[in-house]
Structure 1
Amino acid sequence: MEYPTLAFRKLPREHTALDQGCLYWLAIEQESDIRRLARQFLAALPSTQSTTLIAANGMLDAILEPIPSDKGPNRLRLFDIALDAAPLAVRHLLIELKRCIKTKGSLVLMVLPESAWSAIEDDEAASWLRQLSRWLHKSHCTLVVMNHGLSTIFDQDPVRMNAYMAGFATMQRQQGSITYQVQFWRNSLGVSAARTYQLEWHKQSFVGRELGLLDKSALHAPDHDQFLIQRSALQDIPSLSARWLVFEQAETLFNRALNAKAATVILAVNENRQVESLARMARRLRNACGSAIKIVVRELNACLRHRDQQLLLVSGANLIIPARTPGEHFLMLINSIQGQLWFRPASDDMEALMARLQPPQVRGLLQPSEFLATLDQVYETASGDISHQLVELQISSSLKPAQCLGQLSIRRFGDIATMIDGKLYLFLFACSAEGLEAALGNICKLPWTSLFSQRQLFQHPEQLPREIFAHSELPEDTAEADPVEHELDSPLEQPARTDLSPRRITLKLNESHDDVFGTA
């Protein structure tokens, strides 16, 4: 018998197949992943499958438009729910399903934001799920819920809630990969629990591979205690023993390391222009040598930004050692990663990886609609490689908007701002949560607390008042107040200057200091 599945490629059918009369729940962190998974799922359904799609916040078009006309069910019933009406629709879901689902063997896909479940109180969630699951079983109707957000209505008592569902899984972005965790899954092919997969989006579908126990035989390879190091990375540390092989050039070291099985490879970086070539080396080493090789990058000068660090880590590095780390601490850190296995995905598509980490070539003050479109573009292609900060700042009541903008200096590409109703919305590309205070200090010429009275952080653009953004414009008095200041990052871009040389001046004894230097 052919069962409908979630249509993941290279995942076992028993972990993705759906039985009639059951409820399957997927909690998905990122909205773009929900759209892709819903699209993939619908496109793979048989043409004869009676299917209903329920979505909120205008998601229907985003899901359906890319599906080819010859894919999926011949007939698809559509229900679009207004965002503010979603909690009420969820509360009365069973009543609505009884009213509109009359065909046995029907399949219903619900794509809703996390806020839609706010109408279900903790103490009534079990009763709500129990009644829903009984009706689904009686009607031979399969319900698949794709929830935008990892929090669910059954967080309080997962064991009890799981009794009313046939499957629960989560999908989230972590350090350059999409992690799909099957908490439990039940169908006619069997029962599964606690399975984890890594996914990649390839040719309009998610492709998975399981993260099981890796082969640890490489840990006992003959070179497991060998160190291949670039001489500049030693700095003031002498070669410690015959196990330490020192190479003058990174390229020579790289060619030697291609045959390693479990050795430690230590590369040096002294300027961020070297990062992309080092990332390519790390990725090739990781793909060629496997998970047991240890790749370390030692920073000789403080040159790595957040984006640079994440690019190296996602590309295959186990460890980045900051500049000015004392020699004894350097050796202690090297010792701490011995026996470590690298679990991140090792894709060959370096160009796609670097494109994800490249900031949009725009900065400064934008119209609200342009600001939102730029954010959507960034988050659409994000995969957890780097973190960004999205901040709402309430402008102090003592300042006019133009005065506030005059105290901002936005220099980096990817850092953008807009202003609506006395609030500044600021997006900082490749900025960690720990670095937000420092970033605000760099952007604001005065202390940011003197310019703004309140601060609120958003995890995703979907939390913004999108309708307001779509119909707002910058205040007129801010049209000429552009907070962009040009930044010259490369020495090659510095303007030419005339070198100064000392010139002898003879002073007469009767000249006073005031005559020479001017009076105070």
Structure 2
Amino acid sequence: MSLLAIPGLDAERSQFHEQGLYWLACDTPQDAAALCRQVIKALPEHARAALLASPRGLREVLDSFDTASGPAELALYEADTRAFLQLHKDLPRIDIPGRTLVLRVPTSIWDEGKVERWCQTLRQAAQAHQSLIVVISEGQHSALIERLREFNQSVDGLAQLYRGQGGVRFLQHFWSNRLGVAGTQDVGLAHHAEGFAIAGRPQPVTDAGGDELLCLAQRQVLEGAPALSEHWQVFDSLNDVGARASRAVSATVIFAMDGGQRLDVLARQLHSLRQLRGNALKLVVRETAPTLRYQDEQLLLACGASLIVPFGASLSRFLTMVDSIQGYVWRRRLPADFDALLKRLRPLPICGLVAARAFAEAVQEMWQGLRNGEIVHQLLVLRPAPGLSPLQACSRTVFRRDGDIACVADDALYLFLFACRSEGVEQALDHIFQLSWKELFIGQEVLLTLDSLSGSPFLDETVPQPPLAESVALPLAQKRPVLIPRQISLTRGGAA
């Protein structure tokens, strides 16, 4: 029985069919040569095998080949690009019946549309003559792998040996043999003198689709740089990226967010992709202009974003952050109704000093996002200093954001700050109060529930009117001595 002899792989992922076509893709020629040797050495002694490669490819495989192991018969055939592409015509001359063929080929020989027909023809010939064909390709070609995944009915197994995540990796997209069909698995490899072996315990990636290495990016996020490798595909617009990502399973998808991009359009795109393609997709937003506030970031995260790269991060830092989420699976719960989510994470069009009843009703409605764990708000009770009423303390306030509202109840000022984290409360108060709020108020309490808003003071519908700032008598702590000009004269010795 022929095996893909990588120690640590289960039989379901290492055995070959007795007849069929398997494809192993390697990023580098060195890895392709090593894997060729390993596959051939694992063949049983009675096997009839043949190796087809370029003259250079044959030398690299045979230079360090140990003849003490492997098949007793190994035929060697030199082949160029044309010979590989027309291989189906030469199979009779290779004496294919019952033979195992190992092909070492460069990925560059295929262009769009040829590889599917090539695989189909070879697989039919292998099955007809009870032969096994193992293709070991060298060179990065993400588009080729993607086409092979889509036309998997012409290939019995597809795997990649690539360099990434700090080492050598083995990604099996699918693998079939007499034991059944195995899905996607991405594991680390160790490279020893005898060949490659599984490093550690393999962990199957049950919700990945085999396109983990693919990066689909909006051109703007690369700051004018070209596609960084074969695994990168670059698009001009958000819609183009989204259209391609709608066919992906576990690729990395990167959108740009600048001043001209509508937040709700981007959020809807993220929500749609997450809902359509599942949790293995890595959705990244790179802020290319300082536009996102806390509540905007929370909306994007709730809609499925895996990572938000803030404005100011360098290109190298951005790429490091993208690399850090490889293998990441989105674990949050996606709300089914996007419009309801958008409503929860957007403030009501109200701000400033309002009636107590209007305050209570507005806070209860805007509190929904906090109940769902999607956003954080702050509900404060501020008690004014002696000699000041709550309305007098509000005489010099400026409310700039929708959702930031206040009311007077129980001789205190109730203040609601929409989408405000606890560490941002003091800065928010500095913006709202033109005078020092630490001197205007002697007490500050943070309410964690809305129980206090159900009392009778919050039935009052009277809209409070703060007094004019000029008429407010400040507490003693805020009074300053009057400055009186004093005349002085200067002499050579100093002031007199």
TM-score (norm 1): 0.48
TM-score with structure 2 setting the length: 0.50
